[in-house]
Amino acid sequence: MECKIPNKHVLQQKKDFLYHIGYSTDDDLPQKFGDVKFVCMGGSANRMLVFAELMRKELGLDVEIKDMCSTDRYSMYKVGPVLAVNHHMGMPSLSILLNEIVKLLHYAKCSDVVMIRIGTSGGIGVKPGTVVVTETAVNEMFEPIYNIAVLGKIKSRQTKLSEEILKTLLQCKHKSDPFDVVKGNTMSTSDFYEGQGRLDGALCDYTEKEKMEYLKIAEQNGVKNIEMESTCFAAMCDAVGLRGAIVCVALLNRLEGDQIETPTEELKRMEDNPQKIVSRYIKQKLN
Ligand code: R2B
Ligand code: URA
């Protein structure tokens, strides 16, 4: 299936500038990106570079890995059919990137593309290091909805992910992995501190009891982790007909605290966990 964009205005434009990633329709996009089958996204540019290097090793490809974004807004690495791009933190930044990546895939005439967000999160009732594969992305009210203000009105889009990819990702765990892989709902928020019920931001006017009540209600609603992009990611993929999945590591158990005190080296090791699962998924699909 070709990647279509459901915006008639754009389709009538003679030329389109993908401003934040630094391409336009004057570039030979089919030649540069036409073979892309997997778009993997995560917040940090360095983490996506690490993922690109892992994919090069796993796919045995002798390719140079360089940042393909000519702007300094995002970083994008291509390893054969895998595009690894960073989206920074939060939904506004992700939404800008997704608009341009979807158009890029369309202009490049890509087909049957799978979109995967590989991220970090705060877990709910799971051990640090656990990989959570998202069943349903929900907002702060536990609704499977992404809200965006369009022309002064709130537009609500459903957050639908691919059940088939979720199932296959869960099967990518190896017995020898020193971490769990679970499925669950992922709550997306617009803030890391108050938005996620933390007590340790600069602002906080609720009690620890109120915080714990909220996290417990989240848990009762099937929420296994909290991060800042999943509803936007799921809704945008669904709205343009792309199959999507979200795979995040839980860096801490939010039922036990708010601060991320884990040493950097240990955090880096944890961040490798979802990358391993996704790399096995991609390898399996390409074979
Ligand atoms: C996870 O980690 C970031 C906040 O620290 C944010 O981008 C997210 O979703
Ligand atoms: N990312 C988040 O958004 N929240 C956490 O608690 C950890 C990482």
pLDDT of 4 reads 80
How many Cα atoms are found within 13 Å in the side-chain-facing hemisphere of 83? 27
pLDDT of 77 reads 98
Average pLDDT (75-84) is 98
Judged against a pLDDT cut of 90, whether residue 1 lies above it is answered with no
Average pLDDT of the chain, as a whole number: 97
Closest ligand to Cα 254: 2
Task: Count other C-beta atoms under 10 Å from residue 179's C-beta.
Answer: 20
> The pTM is what?
0.98
Closest ligand to Cα 193: 2
Q: What separation in Å is there between the alpha carbon of 87 and the centre of ligand 1?
A: 10
Q: Which domains does the chain have, with CATH numbers?
A: 8-286 (3.40.50.1580)
Burial of 209 from C-beta contacts in 10 A (0-12 / 13-18 / 19+): exposed
pLDDT digits (tens, 9 = 90+) for 104-162: 999 999 999 999 999 999 999 999 999 999 999 999 999 999 999 999 999 999 999 99
pLDDT of 190 reads 97
- Cβ–ligand 1 distance for 125 under 6 Å, the answer no
The β-bridge relationship of strands 76-79 and 38-42 is unpaired
Q: Quote the percentage of the chain above a pLDDT of 90.
A: 98
Question: Exposed e or buried b for every residue in 67-91, given b needs 16+ CB within 10 A?
Answer: bbbeeebbbbbbbbbbbbbbbbebb
Residue ranges of E strands in 106-231: 114-123, 131-138, 145-150, 153-158, 181-188, 223-227
pLDDT of 69 reads 96
Helix (H) or strand (E) holding 31: helix 29-33
Which amino acid, 192?
F
pLDDT digits (tens, 9 = 90+) for 192-231: 999 999 999 999 999 999 999 999 999 999 999 999 999 9
Q: What separation in Å is there between the alpha carbon of 65 and the centre of ligand 2?
A: 29
Q: Which residues pair with 90 in a beta bridge?
A: none
Spell out which residues line ligand 2, taking CB within 6 angstroms. Answer: 120-122, 192, 196, 226-228, 251
What would the DSSP string read from start to end of 49-73? HHHHHHHHHHHT---------SSSS
* Radius of gyration (C-alpha) of the chain in whole angstroms: 19
Judged against a pLDDT cut of 90, whether residue 2 lies above it is answered with no
Burial of 164 from C-beta contacts in 10 A (0-12 / 13-18 / 19+): exposed
Phi and psi at 116, nearest 5°, equal: -135, 125
pLDDT digits (tens, 9 = 90+) for 20-47: 999 999 999 999 999 999 999 999 999 9
Six-digit token string for 75: 């970083």
- Cα angle: 200, vertex 201, 203; to 5 degrees: 120
Judged against a pLDDT cut of 90, whether residue 3 lies above it is answered with no
Residue of 196, 223, 227, 254 to test ligand 1 pocket, by largest number of atoms within 8 Å of CB: 227
Better pLDDT: 271 or 11? 271
> What secondary structure letter does DSSP report for 129?
T
Q: At what angle do helices 264-286 and 45-59 cross, to 10 degrees?
A: 40
